[in-house]
Amino acid sequence: MRISVFVLAGRCAGALKEMAVAYRYGTGPVVDAYQLTMTLVGWLPVVIATIFIMVLVPVFVDLRAQPLADQTRFLGELEAWAIAVGAALTLLLYACWPLALQIGAKSLSAETRALCRQMILTMGPVGALMLVSSAYAARLQSRERHINTLLEGLPAGFVLAFVLSIGDQTKALPLIYGTIGGYVVQTLVVRALSVRVDPIRYRLRLTLKAPQWQRVFRAVRVLALGQVVMCCTPILDQFFVVAYGDGAVATVGYTNRILSLLLSMGALAIGQAILPILSDIIGVGDLSRARHTAVKWTMLMFLLGSAIALVSWLLAPQAVALLFQRGAFTARDTAAVTELFRWGQMQVPFYFSGLVLLTLFASAGSYREMATIALLSFLVKVAANVVMTHWLAVPGIFAATALTHATTLICYLVYVQGWPTGTATTTAGQP
């Protein structure tokens, strides 16, 4: 329950930030530049941070049983490498950004490109902060401290405060100051909390001598492909969106904010309801029952997702207007976001039902199958983006996403057919 409250609070902070940004900037060049910059700054760090969380939490749990010397060495090496890799990614971003801007943002106005250059120079280190804070967050999670879920809303809160307090409506400085300040404070607070719950003194070492690295590398080899592929989708969509000129990136960004709020809360509810059930069933070795239970929940979530999509489609104009239509965000912007949001509802039934089977495979440790499905779905996404945007323009991106989630669902259903189907019994002798 506490995790749900933290997630909801973080999401609400993000929603309030988007409302303030919409009020101040609308769908103007500042928002285009900010959305594009944040996507490119955070892409690789988010990939690595996601893998960090998945791999390091069980490593930290086991680390507590190891000698103190092993603990101090691994913690020192991990933090040192997180800082070093974050700095290297920042330098790589600075080196590649001018070329990426020249190739991928030719359809944007000169003002938007200039704002992008300003933002990337000042916000480049944000990716390193994301990476370092993820290592601290993994230590907290290993101690069953989930406060970081709430602290993830700090950057949004800082942006909200700066946007509302600085009066110039045309400059990007409130977004820049708020983003940098939020991530700096988040990193410092998460580090302080991780040291408090796990008070081990260590010094930074840029080596790989701790025995825990072997386990980390084995897990990364299995998980990396799937995570990299899944995290490529936002930057792929940005590449297609910028071709439609000024305002398109901002409009898609506002749409994705509402969609992500809807999808993430659904995913949280599904995970909390289903993960314990499937984990318990798989824990006693009853794969047949796990398969049967997951398929039933998959059908139920498809029906529930369809109902949610229908209601969201009907209420879209009122919801978008309530959230954003004030200040610089006009009725025309509301109509544009509403259209895209309605296209985005196509993915909801496939996303919710696919999460059930993804949870099943994750509980069973079937990471190779998950990576294969992720790769295939990404290839479908690339092809669908090309075809759908040619037919439908910007709405084609959301149609392609729906097709991608449908492909993922079908692949999981095909794979799960190979699981045992006969009647099995649990250790308690119950079917």
pLDDT band at 430 (very low <50, low <70, confident <90, very high): very low
Helical pair 173-197 and 154-165, crossing angle rounded to 10 deg: 150
Q: What is the pLDDT of residue 423?
A: 43
Mean pLDDT confidence for 270-292: 79
pLDDT one-digit tens code per residue, 174-197: 999 999 999 999 999 999 998 888
**Does residue 298 have a pLDDT over 50?**
yes
**Does residue 431 have a pLDDT over 60?**
no
**Does residue 428 have a pLDDT over 60?**
no
Mean pLDDT confidence for 46-61: 82
Contacts of 144 (CB under 8 A, 6+ apart): none
Question: Cα(200)–Cα(221) distance, rounded to whole angstroms?
Answer: 29
Q: What is the pLDDT of residue 170?
A: 62
Q: What is the pLDDT of residue 289?
A: 87
pLDDT one-digit tens code per residue, 351-367: 999 999 988 887 787 88
- pTM for the full model? 0.87
**Does residue 425 have a pLDDT over 50?**
no
**Does residue 116 have a pLDDT over 70?**
yes
Amino acid letter, 348 = V
pLDDT band at 47 (very low <50, low <70, confident <90, very high): confident
| Comparison of pLDDT for 269 and 139, the residue scoring more | 139
Average pLDDT, the chain: 87
Number of H helices, E strands in the chain: 15, 0
Chain-centroid distance, C-alpha 254: 16
Q: What is the pLDDT of residue 422?
A: 52
Sorted by where each begins, the domain ranges of the chain are 1-218, 247-431
Mean pLDDT confidence for 276-301: 85
Residue in 290, 273, 268, 292 with CA at minimum distance from that of residue 281: 290
Number of C-beta neighbours around residue 11 at 10 A: 20
pLDDT band at 97 (very low <50, low <70, confident <90, very high): confident
Question: Cα(386)–Cα(406) distance, rounded to whole angstroms?
Answer: 17
CB distance 121 to 37 below 8 Å: no
Which DSSP string corresponds to 239-289?
Answer: HHHGGG-TTHHHHHHHHHHHHHHHHHHHHHHHHHHHHHHHHHHHHTT-HHH
Most confident of 112-116, 282-286, 306-310: 306-310
Kindly state the percentage of the chain with pLDDT values over 70: 94
pLDDT band at 32 (very low <50, low <70, confident <90, very high): very high
**Does residue 427 have a pLDDT over 50?**
no
